[in-house]
Structure 1
C-alpha cells in the first residue's frame, strides 16, 4: 500500500483526508491531506469541498471557507493509503 502524501499545509504526516473539486476539472475530485494541527473537522471531511476551499489554511481550521456538498457513494474501487492514525482512506488519483 502506498504511503499517504503529507499535509497540504506543512508536509507533516497526514492524519485526515477529504475531497475537493478539482480546479482543472470540477467533475473530478482531488484528495486533500492534513496533519492533526491543520485538520478540518470530521463532519466537514465527510463532504466534498468546493474548488475555492482554502482548507487546510491555518486561518480557517478546523473549519473552512466553503459550503461542502454531500459526498456520493463511489461504486468503483479506488486505491487506498493508510494515514498515521490508522485510517484507511482513498488514495491520490493518478
Structure 2
C-alpha cells in the first residue's frame, strides 16, 4: 500500500521544547481530542480512536563499523475505517 505523507516537520529542538510538544499531544489524547499539526499555513488534523496501535522504535542507522545516527520514534497507527487491533506485549518506558 503506498504511503501518502499528510504532514512532515523536522527541526532541531531543545529537549525541553520536545517535551512540551509531546505533553501537548499527551494532553490531547488524554482529553479524547483530535490532534492538529501546524506549520505556517499548512495544517493537518487527525482524530485517533480510543485504542490506536502505539509503536515505539529505537534505531541506529549507519555503517556497522563506525558511528551512526541514533533515533527514537513514537508512532500512533489506526485504520481509517476503524478496524484492526494489534498487541505485542506490554511496553515500559523508564
TM-score under structure 2 normalisation? 0.27
Higher relative contact order (CA 8 A, sep 6+): 1
Higher strand share: 2
Between structure 1 and structure 2, the one with the greater Rg is: 2
TM-score under structure 1 normalisation? 0.27
Higher helix share: 2
